[in-house]
Each structure stands twice: as C-alpha cells, then as structure tokens.
Amino acid sequence: MAQKRKEESEFKVSDRRLFTSDGELRDSSEEQAAPPGAQPPAATAASTAAPPAAPTISTVPEPTPAAVAPTHESDVPEPPTASEQQAQHDAYKQSSRDLDQRVELSGHSAKELEMSFERFMASLYMTAMMQLGLMHEQGGQPGVDLIGARQTIDTLGMIAEKTKGNLTPKEQGFLQNCLYELRMAYVEVTNALARPPQAPGPSTGTNG
C-alpha cells in the first residue's frame, strides 16, 4: 500500500490540449507536468479533455470556456442601453432638423429629403435595372451585373415576405409591380445572354 501511494505521489500529467488559454495553437513538443498530488489517477482520462473540477495553482492558467469552445455569440457586441439609444436618437433628430433648415434657406423643400417606403422601393428598383444593363447614369455606359441584380431582386422579395400585413394597399401594389417587372426583365436578360450569337446570313448581293 505504501508503494502504491508513493507511485501516486510521483504521478505526472501531460497537458495535451491543442490550444493554449489564449486560443493559440500549442507546440506539440510543449508539455507541462502537474505537481505531485495535484490530480488523482482516476482523472487521467479526463485531464486531456477538460480542466479538473478543482484547479490547483499551476504555471499554466486554466482555459476559460470561451477559449475551449469559442462560439459565434461571443463575437456579437452588447447592444446599447435604452438611455444610450434615446440619446443617440435625440442627437440624430437634432442634426436632421439643422439640415432641414439649411435646405429650406437654400430655396428647396425639406420634404424632398424624407424617406418613404415607395422611395426606398424605387431606389432598389433602379439599382436592379442598372445592374441588368437596362438603365445607366447620365453620361455613363450600361453594364450588366447579373449576380448583383439577382441579389437586389431577392432583397425586394425578402422585404415582401417580411412586411406581409404591414403595408398599405398602395405600398403593397407598388412593391408587387416592382418585383414583377424586375423578375421579368431578369429572365429576358439572362435568356438573351445565354442565347448563342447568330451567324451572319449569306449575302444577297450580286457581283457585276
């Protein structure tokens, strides 16, 4: 029995964790031996998977749960408090009022700056039409971006799904018309691009 206790007191545990407590990859040749009596033999199998329930003083700090199994939730910052949101909202409104006053002094109407649902839909509609090459900025050249156009159209479709029951009949009709026209234009453009170029027909002219 004395011999067995002596062997237990000399028992050493190698830290085989792949990552350090800082989340860095551990050198495969780096091993830390626990001091005598720090861990009973029964915990040998568990020592390679998780820290002991009652950690002892060691030169290697015990890993935190975030270091052992990092989650995506840890990357999400804490949302602002209600008071912070209210303060920022008030500051934003004040800046908007200041801008409206400067616009009015310049001889224009501040109503032109207001964003409505129809204006938002119209901006996405024109963006998709430009990506399909059916519209272009004044002085610019048309270009086709099918992937961008599809994403913009899908954005409109997602908005239609998320806003069901929350739109006025006018807003609902405007959104559905935008989606219908854009989807039809997308099909026509993709079909035209997929169609192989036609070879020129035989010349009908005669040589004298």
Domain termination site, one of 40, 61, 82:
61
User: 49-100 pLDDT, tens per residue?
Assistant: 444 444 443 444 454 444 444 556 667 888 899 999 999 999 999 999 999 8
Question: Does 149 map to a domain?
Answer: yes
- The span from the CA of 41 to the CA of 32, in Å, is 17
Question: 190 and 119, same structural domain?
Answer: yes
- The span from the CA of 69 to the CA of 91, in Å, is 40
Question: Does 67 map to a domain?
Answer: no
Question: Does 208 map to a domain?
Answer: no
Query: In this predicted structure, what is the pLDDT of residue 57?
Result: 39
Torsion of CA 118, 120, 121, 125, to 10 degrees: 130
Positive or negative, the Cα torsion across 163, 169, 170, 175?
Answer: positive
User: 16-52 pLDDT, tens per residue?
Assistant: 554 455 555 555 444 444 444 444 444 444 444 444 4
Question: Does 173 map to a domain?
Answer: yes
Question: What domain range includes position 133?
Answer: 115-194
User: 106-148 pLDDT, tens per residue?
Assistant: 888 888 888 899 999 999 999 999 999 998 888 888 889 999 9
- The span from the CA of 19 to the CA of 147, in Å, is 40
Question: Does 158 map to a domain?
Answer: yes
- The span from the CA of 166 to the CA of 159, in Å, is 11
Query: In this predicted structure, what is the pLDDT of residue 107?
Result: 87
Instruction: Classify residue 69 by its DSSP letter.
Output: S
Question: Does 99 map to a domain?
Answer: no
Number of structural domains (the chain) is 2
Query: In this predicted structure, what is the pLDDT of residue 207?
Result: 56
